[in-house]
Chain A
Amino acid sequence: AQSVTQLGSHVSVSEGALVLLRCNYSSSVPPYLFWYVQYPNQGLQLLLKYTSAATLVKGINGFEAEFKKSETSFHLTKPSAHMSDAAEYFCAVSVDAGGTSYGKLTFGQGTILTVHP
């Protein structure tokens, strides 16, 4: 079984500051890892995904995440926050169970990012 822990349910930064959202995972097999973003009253949108290729993954809107197996972490970063980044961010994990779990993700509890002017 796999699980995800997001450290910090709320993160507040100033516009232009570094964004760091923390995610640790637990998985008995090599995981696939994802970050999704949810804006108010909307569904989730995929920011980026790690599927055992490069450990540093670049996503949309200037976000990137680094897979660190030794630390079982997949933290999300963005060098300079923008007001439009304010949203809730979810880390998620899945495993390749022989092609039988494509749509089944285990999500973390989410981190609400607030960006101050």
Chain B
Amino acid sequence: KAGVTQTPRYLIKTRGQQVTLSCSPISGHRSVSWYQQTPGQGLQFLFEYFSETQRNKGNFPGRFSGRQFSNSRSEMNVSTLELGDSALYLCASSLVDSTGELFFGEGSRLTVL
């Protein structure tokens, strides 16, 4: 069974640009969550999607958004990038009734210059 796939793995952007990250969950997993990982703040929850609906949202500004498609694939977008947005963005998928048992992708490492 293929794991969670995130693209791109690495990207470099400049301040003010926007970026879109993609996540393909494990087949059969309908919940997708996104996390931001930085050395200073650690792992922080961004949002969770289930059946194309945002079910939970973390404490991030509106520049961070996401969506989920009918095939459960998800994208997240960050607009008007700031230097502090440099981070590893992790996507995780899970079964509907499996609280906390998340399967993570390898992440997309974003560098903002």
A102-B97, A103-B33 given; A44·B42 CB < 8 A? no
A12 to B36, CA, bound (A): 27
Q: What's the nearest-Cβ distance from chain A to residue B106, in Å?
A: 5
A107-B42, A110-B42 given; A102·B104 CB < 8 A? no
Tell which of B12-20, B75-83, B88-96 binds the partner: B88-96
21 A-B contacts (beta carbon < 8 Å): A34-B101, A43-B106, A43-B107, A44-B43, A44-B90, A44-B92, A46-B102, A46-B103, A99-B97, A102-B94, A102-B97, A103-B31, A103-B32, A103-B50, A104-B58, A105-B102, A106-B45, A107-B42, A107-B44, A108-B42, A109-B42
A101-B99, A102-B96, A103-B55 given; A42·B106 CB < 8 A? yes
Residues of B within 8 A of A108 (CB): 42
Q: Which interface class (under 10, 10 to 19, 20 to 34, 35 or more) fits B?
A: 20 to 34
Interface residues of A (CB under 8 A from B): 32, 34, 36, 41-46, 49, 51, 90, 92, 94, 96, 99-110
A103 to B46, CA, bound (A): 10
User: Is B21 part of the binding interface, using a Cβ–Cβ cutoff of 8 Å?
Assistant: no
Which of A92, A99, A109 is close to B100, meaning CB atoms less than 8 Å apart?
A: A92
A43-B90, A90-B43, A92-B100 given; A101·B56 CB < 8 A? yes
Q: Which 7 A-B pairs have the closest CB atoms?
A: A43-B104, A103-B33, A103-B48, A107-B43, A94-B100, A44-B104, A104-B56
A54 to B107, CA, bound (A): 33
Residues of B within 8 A of A92 (CB): 100
- Residue among B43, B90, B106 with the most chain A CB within 10 A? B43
Q: Assess whether B92 is in contact with A103, with CB atoms less than 8 Å apart.
A: yes
A34 to B103, CA, bound (A): 13
Which DSSP category, helix, strand, loop or mixed, fits chain B's interface? strand
Q: What's the nearest-Cβ distance from chain B to residue A49, in Å?
A: 6
Q: Assess whether B42 is in contact with A51, with CB atoms less than 8 Å apart.
A: no
A49 to B98, CA, bound (A): 11
Residues of A within 8 A of B107 (CB): 43
